[in-house]
């Protein structure tokens, strides 16, 4: 989890009265309503927030749809290159998500929204990691405002009420991972005192939580669309959900910029997990950041052929040129499933021998369990990609 954070007004101890002064609200004298947001029952990270009105007041619930993930299976075992950079824009930052692949632990989407998000959204069953391939703006949440920019990972804990407010929606372009287990920083990056250790690829200052509260004192009914797995429910809340006067804890939406990841380079290629950025149940997220290349005089500077027999590997190509791949473009995704080898394309080993740096920036997720590719992804798949290692 990111480091402890406090924003706004909280009482001196947890679970005691937080008096609401009469002068501050037309509601008059009273208390702010405590709301504890926990993970893994009550056993792991949590935050404590204080609302103007109880967050439990709802006047209506409507079932508004099912969004089941569909596999294109049966698909033969092969490599995939899914060309998503020019995917047509549609929907908003939530409704415009197009499923690419999924398993029991995650669902990955590409999203190129066409319009700004109007309705507040809450994912009730999954944390979300939204990688900002292009775009920028403010994520409005009941924790406050989170400014985001290109190459940010925006991590949104489940049950966060939110709305993306882009600066220019026509530039927005995301990779979205819906994570059914909690998204965390790797345990091994922390010392026994809970601090990120020296020498790890990032530091507490690299994580950016909400910068200011959004305190809306509005008793009007407000709709929130909640997704829990396949089900969409529109809940009419009796007041605006962004009514938090203060909170503290370890659970909150935050950004981490991929360019703040400190890459490690050896005399020869260093494989994952040195690129690991996040961990969750059943998979990891890694960042291949711009870096100096391996410096042994005989080093092969692109990754060797490997058989990732117990993992499916997905790369999303965001910036720079990709030394080991031919034909991939910005916004491409490749899926190299377990059980068959993959590696550098013909000609790329010798072509890289004189290179000293790579400016490539790619996001990878490696899954323990088999990924199912969706019909939407298969529609953007290059069927010749499995044969792209032939000519050399
Ligand atoms: Fe690989």
CA of 271 from ligand 1 middle (Å) equals 9
Percent of the chain, pLDDT > 90?
Answer: 86
CA of 283 from ligand 1 middle (Å) equals 14
State yes or no: pLDDT of 260 exceeds 80.
yes
CA of 284 from ligand 1 middle (Å) equals 13
In this prediction, residues 192-207 reach a mean pLDDT of: 96
CB-count burial class (<10 Å; 0-12, 13-18, 19+) for 216:
middle
CA of 150 from ligand 1 middle (Å) equals 25
CA of 96 from ligand 1 middle (Å) equals 29
pLDDT of residue 392: 56
State yes or no: pLDDT of 28 exceeds 90.
no
pLDDT tens profile 57-106: 999 999 999 999 999 978 999 999 999 999 999 999 999 999 999 999 99
pLDDT of residue 148: 98
Q: Which of 168-177, 314-323, 377-386 bottoms out in mean pLDDT, i.e. has the lowest? A: 314-323
Domains of the chain and any CATH numbers: 58-74+87-258 (2.60.120.10), 262-387 (2.60.120.10)
CA of 368 from ligand 1 middle (Å) equals 14
What residues sit around ligand 1, an ion, with C-beta below 5 angstroms? 313
């Amino acid at each position: 989890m990111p480091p402890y954070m406090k924003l706004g007004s909280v009482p001196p101890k947890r679970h005691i009265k937080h008096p609401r002064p009469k002068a501050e609200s037309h509601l008059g004298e009273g208390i702010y309503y405590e709301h504890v947001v926990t993970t893994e029952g009550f056993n792991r990270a949590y935050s404590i927030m204080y609302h103007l009105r109880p967050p439990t007041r709802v006047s209506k619930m409507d079932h508004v749809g099912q969004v089941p993930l569909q596999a294109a299976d049966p698909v033969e075992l092969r490599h995939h290159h899914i060309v998503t950079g020019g995917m047509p824009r549609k929907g908003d930052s939530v409704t415009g998500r197009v499923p690419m692949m999924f398993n029991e632990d995650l669902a990955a989407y590409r999203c190129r929204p066409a319009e700004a998000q109007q309705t507040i959204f809450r994912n009730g069953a999954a944390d979300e990691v939204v990688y900002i391939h292009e775009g920028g703006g403010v994520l409005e949440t009941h924790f406050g405002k989170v400014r985001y920019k290109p190459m940010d990972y925006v991590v949104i804990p489940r049950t966060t009420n939110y709305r993306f407010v882009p600066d220019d929606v026509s530039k927005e372009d995301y990779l979205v991972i819906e994570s059914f287990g909690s998204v965390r920083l790797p345990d091994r990056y922390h010392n026994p005192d809970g601090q990120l250790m020296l020498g790890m690829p990032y530091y507490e200052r690299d994580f950016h939580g909400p910068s200011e509260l959004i305190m809306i004192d509005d008793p009007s009914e407000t709709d929130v669309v909640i997704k829990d797995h396949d089900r969409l429910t529109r809940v009419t809340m009796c007041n605006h959900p962004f009514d938090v006067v203060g909170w503290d804890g370890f659970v909150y939406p935050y950004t981490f910029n991929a360019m703040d990841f400190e890459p490690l380079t050896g005399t020869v290629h260093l494989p994952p997990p040195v690129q690991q950025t996040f961990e969750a149940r059943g998979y990891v997220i890694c960042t291949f950041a711009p870096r100096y290349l391996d410096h042994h005089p005989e080093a092969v500077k692109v990754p060797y052929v490997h058989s990732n027999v117990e993992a499916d590997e997905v790369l999303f190509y965001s910036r720079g040129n990709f030394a080991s791949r031919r034909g991939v473009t910005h916004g491409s995704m490749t899926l190299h499933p377990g059980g068959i080898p993959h590696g550098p394309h013909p000609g790329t080993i010798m072509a890289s021998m004189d290179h000293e740096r790579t400016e490539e920036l790619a996001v990878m997720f490696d899954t323990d369990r088999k990924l199912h590719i969706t019909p939407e992804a298969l529609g953007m798949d290059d069927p010749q990609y499995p044969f792209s290692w032939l000519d050399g």
